Structure 1
Amino acid sequence: MLGRLEMSVDECIKAYSELSKEVFHKKRRAPIGIKGDLKERYDSEALELAVKNVLRNRDMDENALLKNPRGTKLLVH
């Protein structure tokens, strides 16, 4: 968010707070399936929708690649 979306720290905190309410509110009951395979703990579709919502709010294409084609580096102290 800081680098690719060029958001301020305050904007990132606000966006993450809203995103986390949508994504992390409901855990799946058992992270391990009947066959012993690992299951995702949170719904990946909810995360995808939340990220697309952040992109739309920034007037960006919701299907835009999040890798910056210019290769801009970001350093946070």
Structure 2
Amino acid sequence: MTLRDYSPSWTDNSLGLKAVEAAEQLGALQLNATKALLEQSVKQHQALLGVKTPQEFGAIANDASKPLAQITQNYLTEATALAL
């Protein structure tokens, strides 16, 4: 449900509706990005728990930042698009 469903008087104010819709989209984007970051973080922690050598730990730790950086970059790109 959107704010429009609760407050029909907002339909007269298109700028207000656009602001509310943008806020809803941003909220959904933040929720999805947080979910993706948490899922990736859990995967990385599980991988680290299975490490048997320092070399394995170093390799996993080194590769850990790449997916997180990509998720963050995607979030920033989409958030910027919403702002424009």
Please give the range of the TM-score, normalised by the shorter of the 2 chains. Answer: 0.3 to 0.5
RCO greater where, 1 or 2, for CA within 8 Å and sep 6 or more?
Answer: 2
TM-score, length of structure 2 as denominator length: 0.38
